[in-house]
Amino acid sequence: MKTTHTAKTIILGITGSIAAYKSADIANNLVKQQYDVHAVMTKAGASFITPLTLQALTKNRVFVDVLQEDDPAEIIHIALPEKADMLLIAPATANIIAKIAAGIADDMLSGMVLAAHDIPKIIAPAMNTRMYENPATQENLQTLIRRGWTVIEPREARLACGYVGKGALAEVGTVIHTVDGVFKGAVKTSDGACEI
């Protein structure tokens, strides 16, 4: 069941990219706009930024492990996507993109992805240029687009690995603008990227 109050519920997925530190800014900006944000992290994502940081910003419990099912009344990896209005993964590594494309659900975030039906899904890749440009990654992104995902293209920049090229997480403002645009019914381009 979707939320009935004015605040829209967003699941914010955070994966193991150096850009994970920007997820705090994304969460903070979404909360300031009255979104109810629930952070779900991969274990690698939690290596870059602590769950406590996201919990303090969102005022909601942060989930990392699929075994965090400590409430016998609900199965959280099913219940949270059922009440969510949107799923946003920022940053998204090549690993999570591949897992989603293949339908693999071996952690809390990928399990929630499979349980999230009939809601908008946005993904913001962040990785090394060579990984981003790899045909497997590009094919996986095209698979997600065919399934209705909105892809926020990464920026060209000097990356943490020293490479200069496409792969940096989109600016926080672009991510927020895309979320707002998808909720307002912004027209998608033919390649699945939201027009900004």
Find tokens 């016998």 and name the residue.
72
Nearest Cα to Cα of residue 27 among 95, 120, 90, 104: 90
Is 161 a catalytic site residue? Answer: yes
In sequence order, the 6+-apart residues with CB closer than 8 A to the CB of 177 are 196
CA distances from 112 to 61, 188, 189 (A): 15, 24, 26
Q: 56, 102, 161, 164: which one is catalytic? A: 161
Nearest Cα to Cα of residue 180 among 41, 56, 29, 59: 29
Catalytic residues, which ones? 161
